[in-house]
Amino acid sequence: MNMKSYRWLMIFTMVLILMMVAFPVLAQADSAELIIKMSRDFGYGGFGNDIQGLFTISIQNEEQFTLDKVIFYIDGEVLFEDTSAPFKHQFSTDNYALGTHTLSAVGFMKDGQEIKSQDVVYEFVSSSQGWNMTGKIIGPILLIVLLV
């Protein structure tokens, strides 16, 4: 390999390495958003988006930001404003109408910048619907255990 070919190979390799390092960082910077996490404290959380009971909404990636406060929303209305980490709020689906609800959050950084979350959609169901679905799941499992 002559010196000119070697030089071009080195330049190409350096550009390739730079692209591999720089582009993921730029992509993360452009897609900076809060990630909502829902955890079931008590009740029914189905395989789909059906939920019923006591849940905690929180920010999964809050350590990526220097947040001063987070406002949680349900259907565009303020659900809770949290001014201390960890940013989370416990709520009961029973306090809201049955049906489809959209949850979101907006974080406010110490420098005043706002960071929004994605919208997450859940179907709030009645406790009887939750128990019916749970029975459909657990019933066959119990039957199999008893047969074995």
**Quick one: average pLDDT of 38-63?**
90
Q: How far is CA 7 from CA 12, 13, 18, 19, 21, in A?
A: 9, 10, 17, 18, 21
d(CA 130, CA 139): 14
State the pLDDT at residue 126: 85
Give the pLDDT band (50/70/90) at residue 48.
Answer: confident
| pTM (two decimals) | 0.68
d(CA 86, CA 67): 10
pLDDT at 146 over 90: no
- The per-residue pLDDT for range 120-138, each reduced to its tens digit, is 999 999 866 655 555 556 6
State the pLDDT at residue 130: 54
**Quick one: average pLDDT of 51-77?**
95
Q: Is 46 exposed, middle or buried (0-12, 13-18, 19+ CB in 10 A)?
A: middle
**Quick one: average pLDDT of 69-73?**
97
pLDDT at 72 over 90: yes
